[in-house]
């Protein structure tokens, strides 16, 4: 029996892994079984890691540490090797003293760890109090100490001159109501992007015109990660938060967050939400609807609805298909914004009337964004009835063609169920929703509380 087979047998004995008809499955509470499609060993300095993947979802079993780490968890020792950590209460000096005593001298210690002497010289003589993730792993390995024992002994993380996270919370756990809310905010008014000026580091951005939304986003981030350093700027009527630490972006990507422009990428609802618990889905929807949805209260007794709009760029067009879209531009209405940007649009109904019959084009301009389809599926799982509608074909200021599609919740029972099950985190929208529910349900003048 080889090393990998022994490890798999050990995981089966521990009840972490299940084998059925020559297939392996990982078991985690509140999730259906993850069917494993790839298993391989990865070597990292003194650590061997068993990698198990399920449809590109990566699980790591750190062999010496005897810990299985799902992708919604991130420990300090999984961070990039060059991330700098500051340990609490002069703990680093204490560890270094123990290691030097074991090795005999500082020079012998560095040779044992295959590191240059200056690596620990400045720490030993109090010239620096920081250590990289890689060096700390090596040091703890040498002292036969478990990595996870230091999850709560890190004062801050740093990369460059700025403290990125003060009092970081390890393991970072996105399988929570706060994690679901952040994922909902990211696919709405936020985004994760690659900073090409910083060697491909992932940055996170969130923008909103609502002070309450801004405070909620910051609160959820800090509840998951610790006190995160953020840069704020005000552009027109929007507050923009930029998070430089790649820890946030990388951990969110691990659980299926969309990387890049969501309309251009046409990404899906994060897999953690799709596969997660009912409560995760509810918190995700609450964030999404709070950021992106609108409420209409009509004048008639039972009129009103909730609408969520999503956009999708039309990519990979043939020359003939692009010519068809160009021919529709003369029928489009132009809308100019205060910034000078101009967006042209035409209703899907009118576009279908004006263009030549083409099965391929019909499929393209009546298709729906993957994000909206995923959110529709979640609402259906919650038994909240709704309908989907392709509204407009747009031409953006950048020259891209995009589709605007809507999700409507307009039945009385569905609006009331949405109010009871999901609701809005933004107080102004929640108050408006209560007014709509009161209007639909209140026959005798009683207020819904």
Q: Model confidence over 156-190: pLDDT tens digits?
A: 998 777 899 999 999 999 999 999 999 999 999 99
Query: CA angle 365-366-369, nearest 5°?
Result: 90
Taking 70 as the threshold, does the pLDDT of residue 376 lie above it? yes
- Quote the pLDDT of residue 128: 82
Percent of the chain with pLDDT over 70: 98
How far is residue 24's CA from residue 6's CA, in Å, rounded to a whole number? 14
pLDDT band at 377 (very low <50, low <70, confident <90, very high): very high
Q: Output 404 or 299, whichever has higher pLDDT.
A: 404
Which of 6-20, 58-72, 240-254 shows the lowest mean pLDDT across its residues?
Answer: 6-20
pLDDT band at 445 (very low <50, low <70, confident <90, very high): very low
Q: Report H helices in 226-354.
A: 246-254, 262-265, 271-275, 278-292, 319-328, 348-354
Instruction: Outline where DSSP puts E strands in 178-230.
Output: 190-195, 201-208, 227-228
Which of 312-316, 353-357, 404-408 shows the lowest mean pLDDT across its residues?
Answer: 353-357
Backbone angles phi, psi at 238, to 5 degrees: -115, 140
- Quote the pLDDT of residue 421: 95
Q: What is the mean pLDDT of residues 260-289?
A: 96
Taking 70 as the threshold, does the pLDDT of residue 444 lie above it? no
pLDDT band at 1 (very low <50, low <70, confident <90, very high): low
Residue 205 and residue 143 in contact, taking contact as beta carbons nearer than 8 Å? no
Residue 394 and residue 345 in contact, taking contact as beta carbons nearer than 8 Å? yes
pLDDT band at 425 (very low <50, low <70, confident <90, very high): very high
How far is residue 61's CA from residue 193's CA, in Å, rounded to a whole number? 29
Q: What is the mean pLDDT of residues 314-336?
A: 89
The burial class, CB within 10 Å (0-12 / 13-18 / 19+), for 299 is: exposed
Which of 63-72, 110-119, 260-269, 282-291 shows the lowest mean pLDDT across its residues?
Answer: 110-119
Query: Element (H or E) spanning 239, and its range?
Result: strand 238-243
Taking 60 as the threshold, does the pLDDT of residue 326 lie above it? yes
**Residue in the block written with tokens 């569905």:** 414
**CA 112, chain centre distance (Å):** 40
Which of 30-39, 383-392, 394-403, 440-449 shows the lowest mean pLDDT across its residues?
Answer: 440-449
Q: Output 373 or 120, whichever has higher pLDDT.
A: 373
pLDDT band at 449 (very low <50, low <70, confident <90, very high): very low
How far is residue 391's CA from residue 347's CA, in Å, rounded to a whole number? 6
pLDDT band at 133 (very low <50, low <70, confident <90, very high): very high
Long-range contacts formed by 373-377: CB under 8 A, 24+ apart: 374/268, 374/269, 374/274, 375/269, 375/285, 375/288, 375/308, 375/310, 375/407, 376/407, 377/269, 377/274
Taking 70 as the threshold, does the pLDDT of residue 12 lie above it? yes
């Amino acid at each position: 029996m080889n090393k990998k087979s022994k490890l798999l047998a050990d995981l089966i004995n521990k009840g972490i892994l299940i084998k059925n008809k020559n297939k392996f499955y990982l078991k985690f509470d509140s999730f259906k079984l993850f069917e494993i499609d790839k298993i391989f060993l990865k070597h990292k300095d003194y650590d061997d890691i068993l990698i198990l993947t399920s449809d590109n979802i990566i699980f790591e079993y750190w062999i010496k540490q005897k810990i299985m780490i799902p992708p919604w968890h991130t420990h300090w020792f999984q961070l990039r090797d060059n991330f700098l950590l500051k340990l609490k209460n002069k703990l680093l000096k204490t560890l270094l003293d123990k290691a030097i005593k074991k090795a005999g001298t500082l020079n012998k210690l560095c040779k044992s760890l295959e590191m240059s002497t200056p690596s620990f010289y400045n720490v030993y003589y109090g010239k620096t109090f920081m250590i990289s993730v890689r060096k700390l792993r090596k040091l703890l390995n040498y002292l036969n100490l478990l990595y996870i024992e230091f999850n709560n002994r890190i004062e801050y993380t740093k990369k460059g001159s700025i403290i990125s996270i003060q009092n970081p919370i390890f393991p970072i756990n996105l399988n929570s109501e706060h994690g679901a809310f952040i994922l909902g905010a990211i696919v709405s008014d936020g985004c994760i992007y690659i900073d090409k000026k910083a060697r491909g580091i992932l940055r996170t951005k969130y923008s909103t015109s609502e002070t309450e939304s801004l405070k909620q986003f910051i609160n959820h981030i800090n509840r998951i990660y610790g006190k995160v350093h953020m840069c704020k700027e005000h552009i027109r009527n929007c507050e923009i938060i930029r998070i430089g630490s790649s820890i946030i972006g990388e951990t969110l990507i691990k659980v299926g967050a969309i990387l890049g422009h969501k309309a251009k990428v046409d990404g899906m609802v994060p897999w953690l939400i799709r596969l997660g618990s009912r409560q995760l889905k509810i918190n995700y929807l609450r964030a999404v609807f709070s950021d992106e949805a609108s409420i209409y209260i009509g004048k008639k007794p039972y009129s009103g609805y909730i609408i969520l709009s999503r956009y999708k760029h039309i990519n990979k067009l043939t020359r003939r298909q692009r010519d068809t879209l160009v021919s529709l531009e003369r029928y489009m209405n132009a809308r100019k914004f205060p910034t000078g940007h101009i967006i042209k649009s035409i209703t899907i109904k009118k576009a279908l009337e004006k263009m030549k019959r083409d099965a391929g084009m019909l499929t393209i301009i009546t298709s729906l964004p993957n994000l909206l389809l995923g959110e529709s599926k979640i609402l259906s799982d919650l038994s909240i009835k709704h309908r989907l509608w392709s509204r407009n074909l747009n031409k953006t200021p950048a020259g891209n063609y995009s589709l605007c599609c809507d999700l409507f919740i307009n039945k009385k029972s569905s609006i009331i169920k949405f109010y009871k099950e999901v609701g809005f985190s933004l107080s102004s929208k929640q108050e408006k929703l209560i007014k709509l529910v009161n209007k639909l349900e209140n026959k005798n003048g009683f207020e819904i509380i």
